[in-house]
Amino acid sequence: MRALLFSAFGGELSVQDVPSPDPPQDGVVVEVGATGVCRSDWHGWQGHDPDIVLPHVPGHELAGTVAGVGDDVTRWSVGDRVTVPFVCACGRCAQCLAGDHQVCAAQRQPGFTHWGSFASHVALDAADVNLVALPDGMSFATAASLGCRYATSYRAVVQQGRVAAGEHVVVYGCGGVGLSAIQIAVAMGASVLAVDISPAALDLAESFGARPVTGGVEAVREATDGGAHLSLDALGSPQTCVDAVLSLRPRGRHVQVGLLPPSQGRPLVPMERVVAMELELLGSHGMAAHAYPALLDLVVSGRLRPDLLVTREVGLEDAAQALAEVGRAPGITVITSF
């Protein structure tokens, strides 16, 4: 198969011919139809993920067609059109048995714990637990854009953030995650503010129904009548995390979605404010496969439009450049030819 490999962290990315994977006993091999280029892949390439063993193939936001099935798989057959959460759960640990597959204690992540989907084929574990059937008519590019960012944002806004119609929501960082969160919060009836340093990203956020804010935390508090009910740090930097927490009103909820690699330094969250204002600080880490149908229904009905976030489709030969430039242009790049 063709795959995009790197052999050194931060080193050269090149398309190579390598052996195709065999399906794990409880898993499948998927012929990749589309795969998103995500900032998490960039972090992995840069050496920020301790799970990665070199040489490595990135890619975790995928959709495609089942091409091979392990002996223990009962629910899936060759030819099925599927996607998968980036957290592939074991299905057997205490978290999985409670339904919280997104924080599985024995999770596997394509593109991190093993080779990912910047390739024509990818192996996925525990297929009966993790695969999600695609609705007829949903393109692979749209399904891949649900991948980690849209599903994570959906869980962050709807499930963890418990957004309600009429609430003020502020989203820091208007890349793929932030724009997803904005679209979802607007669809849920919230009044959404967008913060970013890029005018182009703010323009896109505005086109999705958010009000751009410049002028920092004070401007956010003023525009939200004393602070937001719900804040999201969709970028994942110490500064945006702290600013998002400072933007809340009493009893507000903060959901951290953007990754915060410790190498960037840890955010100095003012915990005295968390106490005095009874703030909630929450994380959001993907979404379990069993939670996808509610999200897919909203996409099929047209209430949510993840396809609008896909601003570039490229071939595998252009994936290296897309990975190097991830986050520089607004919207999501999806690899759709291999």
Interaction site with Zn ion (CB under 5 A): 38, 40, 61, 89-90, 93, 96, 104, 148
Torsion on CA atoms 103, 319, 4, 65, rounded to nearest 10: 60
Q: In a 3-state reduction of DSSP, which class is residue 310?
A: strand
Closest to Zn ion by CB, 230 or 334:
334
Task: Find the shortest distance in angstroms from Cβ 14 to Zn ion.
Answer: 22
Phi, psi of 259 (to 5 degrees): -70, 145
Task: Find the shortest distance in angstroms from Cβ 91 to Zn ion.
Answer: 6
Closest to Zn ion by CB, 96 or 320:
96
Task: Find the shortest distance in angstroms from Cβ 81 to Zn ion.
Answer: 20
- Maximum CA extent, the chain: 59
Closest to Zn ion by CB, 242 or 308:
308
Closest to Zn ion by CB, 104 or 304:
104
Residues forming beta bridges with residue 277, ordered by sequence position: none
* Residue whose CB is nearest to Zn ion in the complex, by number: 38
Task: Find the shortest distance in angstroms from Cβ 288 to Zn ion.
Answer: 10
Spell out the alpha helix ranges (H) of 99-255: 127-130, 140-145, 151-154, 176-187, 199-207, 216-223, 238-246
Task: Find the shortest distance in angstroms from Cβ 102 to Zn ion.
Answer: 10
Closest to Zn ion by CB, 91 or 209:
91
Closest to Zn ion by CB, 109 or 224:
109
Rounded Cα distance, 252 and 322, in Å: 37
Rounded Cα distance, 91 and 208, in Å: 36
Closest to Zn ion by CB, 80 or 125:
125
Least Cα distance to 181 among 203, 207, 210 occurs for 210
Q: Are 232 and 156 in contact (CB under 8 A)?
A: yes
Task: Find the shortest distance in angstroms from Cβ 86 to Zn ion.
Answer: 6
Task: Find the shortest distance in angstroms from Cβ 57 to Zn ion.
Answer: 15
Task: Find the shortest distance in angstroms from Cβ 166 to Zn ion.
Answer: 31
CB neighbours of 140 closer than 8 A, spacing ≥ 6?
33, 34, 63, 64, 81, 134, 336
Burial of 307 from C-beta contacts in 10 A (0-12 / 13-18 / 19+): middle
Closest to Zn ion by CB, 81 or 285:
285
Task: Find the shortest distance in angstroms from Cβ 223 to Zn ion.
Answer: 30
Phi, psi of 266 (to 5 degrees): -90, 145
CB neighbours of 250 closer than 8 A, spacing ≥ 6?
227, 277, 278, 279
Least Cα distance to 295 among 128, 148, 174 occurs for 148
Q: In a 3-state reduction of DSSP, which class is residue 5?
A: strand
Closest to Zn ion by CB, 41 or 80:
41
Single-letter residue type at 189: G
